[in-house]
Structure 1
Amino acid sequence: MLPILQVGDVLLSPDIFTEHFCCDLEACGGACCIEGEAGAPITPAEVKDLERVLPAVWMELDPKARKVVNRQGVAYRDEDGDLVTSIVNGKDCCFTCYDERGICLCATDRAHREGRIDWAKPISCYLYPIREQQLSNGNVALNYHRWSVCKPAVKLGRELKLPIYKFLKNPLIRRFGQAWYDELLALVEALKAEGMLPKDEEQK
């Protein structure tokens, strides 16, 4: 079993290297955006970004969501005091929308993919199923968050033999930079050379 690994000042759970994941929206319907008891973690800087791009997606939001945003803004403090995106009915993220198939999407992410805005979504959403934790010594811990609604993503990831660190390549680069990700890949190669990770990455 792998120990907790470290790249720079970031501690990584071994699951990030040994478990597989690949979002399967056709199977889950985008459940991660409409389930849960609180909104997505968001930073103060991201709140400003979300407020800035909000007009571009305003009419794509559910009327109930618009009422919530008008009342309390794009974010609030949850029971733990953490800053999170506003939600409707105690669970649905205010910034969801649906495509013609009825699949739940992130309105800001869709607008970004369409080239209508220059900001996609909070990094916590982009990094999922990794959850980031700030440690008291200034380091960052990354942990794999298991959630029943993501069983289809686990199944597809195993079929594709796609480890979490590869599935989240772009989000990890956005968060920590290309040099950091290159160092992570070098660590993976060293672990393979030592026999701690299989070279074919056929993890089960």
Structure 2
Amino acid sequence: MLQIDDTLISFDLIEKYFLCDLSQCKGACCVEGDAGAPLEKGELAVLRRILPEIWDELSPEAQAVIDKQGVAYIDAGGETVTSIVDGKDCVFTCYDEVGVCKCAIEKAYREGRIDFYKPVSCHLYPVRIKHYQTFSAVNLDRWSICKAAELLGKKEGLPAYRFLKEPLTRKFGQEWYDKLETAAEEWLKQKKK
């Protein structure tokens, strides 16, 4: 692991390749799993604020879940996570004309209708962050549904940390990302020796 400030970063983030391939996975990371997307402090209030702007793009089933329990709930691990429909889809999913799962929040952001991109945990995926008392662990989640992304990333020669530059910078700041990039380059040089 690499240490930058109060974070420990898995070498997988540097050594593994990644490039989302929605044509293959169809956005399965927004559907598969046993809980919704983890929310950071303050994101729940933002989701409630932007909900009217994206409401009509949500499925009737998602709207019913939100009406009943809200946009989020506390999962088995005690984290606040986005609500899900029938134990699968995040309530903020929507589907395009070819059946690819997309994020209604990100869609509205890209269209300039809202000022919030999407929850940081979603933007960071496949990175997952685990907070401990004195540090945070930054790990690359390895999951079979992302195999196509790993293969495409390898084909394009795109390491995961570079693919995730924007969300990593959003989460930790430009200075942190610059340190990561320098450390990654040094690590990869050493591995080649």
- Which TM-score applies when normalising by structure 2? 0.96
For structure 2, the residue ranges without an aligned partner over 5 or more in a row are none
| Residue 125, structure 1, aligned to residue 122, structure 2 | yes
Report the CA distance between 1:186 and its aligned residue: 1.6
**RMSD of Structure 2 on Structure 1 (CA):** 1.2
| Residue 99, structure 1, aligned to residue 99, structure 2 | no
Counterpart-to-counterpart distance in 2, 1:189 and 1:93: 36
Counterpart-to-counterpart distance in 2, 1:87 and 1:50: 14
Counterpart-to-counterpart distance in 1, 2:106 and 2:78: 26
The 5 A counterparts of 1:71-86 are 71-86=68-83
Q: Which ranges of 4 or more aligned residues in structure 1 deviate by more than 6 Å? A: none
| Residue 116, structure 1, aligned to residue 113, structure 2 | yes
In the other structure, the counterpart of 1:173 is 169
In the other structure, the counterpart of 2:20 is 23
Report the CA distance between 1:43 and its aligned residue: 2.0
Of the candidates 27, 30, 35, which is equivalent to residue 33 of structure 1? 30
Counterpart-to-counterpart distance in 2, 1:188 and 1:92: 35
In the other structure, the counterpart of 2:153 is 157
Counterpart-to-counterpart distance in 2, 1:79 and 1:190: 40
For structure 1, the residue ranges without an aligned partner over 5 or more in a row are 200-204
Report the CA distance between 1:99 and its aligned residue: 1.0
Aligned AA for 2:66?
V
Aligned AA for 2:10?
S
What does the per-residue CA deviation read over 1:100-154, in whole Å, with 9 as the maximum and x for residues that have no partner? 12111000011101111100111100101110010122x1110111111111111
Report the CA distance between 1:96 and its aligned residue: 0.3
Report the CA distance between 1:37 and its aligned residue: 1.0
- Secondary structure of the corresponding residue to residue 44 of structure 1: coil
- Which TM-score applies when normalising by structure 1? 0.91
- Secondary structure of the corresponding residue to residue 41 of structure 1: coil
Aligned AA for 2:155?
E
Corresponding pairs, count: 193
- Secondary structure of the corresponding residue to residue 87 of structure 2: coil
Counterpart-to-counterpart distance in 1, 2:18 and 2:182: 21
